[in-house]
A and B are shown apart, each in its own frame.
Chain A
Amino acid sequence: MSQQASSRIWAVIGIGIAVIAVLGLLLAFLGRGLGPLAPMITPAVPTPPDDPVVASVNAHAIHYSFWTELVLLDQVLSGLAGQPAPSPGETLQRLINEELVLEAFSPEQAPTEEQIEAWIAALEQTWGVDDAAVVTALERVGLTRAMFEREIGRLLTVQAGLEALQSQGYDATAWLEEQRASAEIQVFPDVAMPVASGFQSPIAMAGISPIPTPSTETPPPTPAIAVSKVAPDFTLEQSGGGMLTLSEQLAQGPVVLVFFQSGGG
């Protein structure tokens, strides 16, 4: 995984915590017209009846319903914080990273109800909204305050795990890269892609002009090069030292080029 990709993933895992710890940006979202008469927004992609597994981390399955709930929550909280919302794919990667942390570090004690409420109160103060406004924003996309509380509790547990990691002298980014390389991680694109490509921001669906933010969506990938096409030449640094150029390898014979998703193969 490139440093940029790991930094991006680390930023996303931080978003979950940063969103709940953001300072400064006052809310414009709720002030722009959401209120008790605002129409209910429904997610673009309903949950299939069998609630399929969208990804797995070692033995832990991440189900469709859990993922889409978190995507909606990320959208709502990012809107309240005035920050660009992560894409559904980024939310899924965050869940995978959080699962790796939770598997490795179990805190001695789960967050208390008081701790969770204190965090929620701090967030609402930062956003300049009252609890009723947050509940309204959640309920407009089919979420509940109870679900919000559960997620805050889960994020606080992940945060405790990260603190334990760092207190033991680990570099969190390097640790996470190693965990991702050695873990059995599967993403099931047949399940995930319809959501990732078809999901719309609740803000956009409400027809409300949001705070202008840059798009966080990754451009759609181009199809793989077809048979009979010329293979693009390239030069890259290799594991054994020095650089390797494809055309130089081809001068010695045919080449089998293998792209690995991770170093685990």
Chain B
Amino acid sequence: MVSLVVASIEVVRGWCQRAGVSYPMLADTEHRVSEAYGVYNLLGDGLAAPAVFVIDTDGRIVWVHVGQHSGDRVDASTILARLP
């Protein structure tokens, strides 16, 4: 799993340290990747909307979930069921 946040790398590191995050968290500082995936500012907050993309080894997106509000996320079992 790889996570992205629209934030500076300093802020990302601070969050990871506090939360004890074990997976990579990436700093999409310029929000270019969030824009490329079409999830930037969907909620009008200047941030990435909560979203999950499952990508196969050919680089194709096989499943997408985009949250309609802050708490709209999918659980791990749903994601695991979608892995190719």
Q: Number of A interface residues, CB 8 Å?
A: 61
In the complex, chain A residues 183-230 whose Cβ is within 8 Å of any chain B Cβ: 185-190, 192-193, 196, 218, 221-230
CA distance A192 to B56 in the complex (A): 35
Q: Is the CB of B27 within 8 A of A5?
A: no
Q: Is the CB of A255 within 8 A of B2?
A: yes
Question: Is A9 on the interface with B (CB-CB < 8 A)?
Answer: yes
Q: Is the CB of A189 within 8 A of B8?
A: no
Q: Which A-chain residue is minimally distant from B16 (CB atoms)?
A: A239
- Residues of B close to A8: CB separation below 8 A: 46
- Assuming A238-B25, A256-B2, is B51 touching A224 (CB within 8 A)? yes
Q: Is the CB of B59 within 8 A of A230?
A: yes
| A235-246 vs B, Cβ < 8 Å mask (1 yes, 0 no) | 011111000101
CA distance A241 to B59 in the complex (A): 24
Whole-angstrom distance between the Cβ of A161 and the nearest chain B Cβ:
22
Of A92, A233, A254, A264, the residue contacting B56 (CB under 8 A) is A254
Q: Is the CB of A258 within 8 A of B41?
A: no
Q: Number of B interface residues, CB 8 Å?
A: 67
- Assuming A3-B8, A256-B2, is B21 touching A239 (CB within 8 A)? yes
Q: Is the CB of B46 within 8 A of A263?
A: no
In the complex, chain A residues 1-52 whose Cβ is within 8 Å of any chain B Cβ: 1-5, 8-9
CA distance A101 to B47 in the complex (A): 20
Q: Is the CB of A250 within 8 A of B70?
A: no
CA distance A132 to B84 in the complex (A): 68
Q: Is the CB of A237 within 8 A of B27?
A: yes
In the complex, chain B residues 1-34 whose Cβ is within 8 Å of any chain A Cβ: 1-9, 11-16, 19, 21, 24-34
Q: Which B-chain residue is minimally distant from A186 (CB atoms)?
A: B70
CA distance A261 to B3 in the complex (A): 10
Q: Is the CB of A1 within 8 A of B47?
A: yes
Whole-angstrom distance between the Cβ of A38 and the nearest chain B Cβ:
31
The 4 closest A-B pairs by CB, nearest first: A263-B15, A224-B38, A89-B44, A236-B26
If A192-B44, A236-B28 are given as contacts, then 10 extra A-B residue pairs at C-beta distance below 8 Å, sorted by A number, are A2-B8, A4-B30, A89-B45, A92-B44, A227-B63, A244-B2, A259-B34, A260-B48, A261-B50, A265-B73
Cβ contacts A to B, 18 pairs, < 8 Å: A1-B6, A187-B69, A221-B40, A227-B61, A230-B61, A231-B60, A240-B16, A249-B2, A254-B84, A256-B1, A256-B54, A257-B2, A260-B4, A261-B45, A261-B47, A261-B67, A262-B47, A263-B5
